A and B are shown apart, each in its own frame.
Chain A
Amino acid sequence: MNFYEHTIIAKQDLSTPELSNIEKKYKDIITKTDGKVIKVEKWGLISFAKKIRSYNKGFYIHYKFEAENKTLEEIKRNSVIDNSLLRHLTVKYKKLDTETEYFKETNEKKK
């Protein structure tokens, strides 16, 4: 079992129930394939540095979890197919720090 971080960027023009559906979907994928979700962070709407597929902004969702190789394959396969996602990135870690949140301040200001 290894530690991983996974971030997805969803399209800007999605409604809030659709966003929560997406968040749930990837949580279920991790738990169904014997993984363990440690933390889920919602970074909110963030504007890109550069246009991505003619979109200027996107919703960021960030997962921290512990899993094996087969869950990673499932997650990658699903996020490539998914039409409501723009990009995704998984990073492997030896140690996870769950305390520091770099995007917390920006979320609070917008609310």
Chain B
Amino acid sequence: MKRKNNKFNKRPQNPLNKLSLFQKSDSRFSKKCPLSGKDAPVIDYKNIKLLKRYVSDTNKIMPSRITSVSQNKQRKLTSEIKKAKILGLV
């Protein structure tokens, strides 16, 4: 968590300032968590529309490094997706 936060605080660099072409840009990591915040959607096993967004084509749970969901919400998401899988909804 702490390492990620350091990346958030960095100022966005100009792409021309890079030392080499293969250096990764910091702007990739500046996405905020879509499930936390004020009017965030409720994570529930009945809310299939939301859960289907975080499941791949082969019904696997997407990693948080791709979806940029926070640690706390990712833990809730996995438990709710597993409940929905028992009922055959996802």
Contacts and interface: CB of A to CB of B under 8 A. Distances in A.
A87 B45 contact: no
A48 B87 CA distance: 8
> Contact residue range for chain A?
10 to 19
Contacts, number: 30
A22 to B, nearest CB: 16
A87 B46 contact: no
Interface string B40-54: 001011111000000
Contacts of A60: 87
A102 B88 contact: no
A93 B31 CA distance: 32
Interface string A82-111: 000001010100000000101100000000
Contact of B90 (A49, A89, A103): A49
Contacts of A102: 44, 46-48
A95 to B, nearest CB: 12
> Contact residue range for chain B?
10 to 19
A50 interface: yes
A101 to B, nearest CB: 9
B87 A9 contact: yes
A49 B45 CA distance: 14
A103 B46 contact: yes
B86 A89 contact: yes
Interface of A: 7, 9, 46, 48-50, 52, 58, 60, 87, 89, 91, 100, 102-103
22 contacts: A7-B87, A9-B87, A9-B88, A46-B89, A48-B88, A49-B59, A49-B85, A49-B89, A50-B59, A50-B88, A58-B88, A87-B86, A87-B87, A87-B88, A89-B83, A89-B86, A89-B87, A91-B45, A102-B44, A102-B46, A102-B47, A103-B46
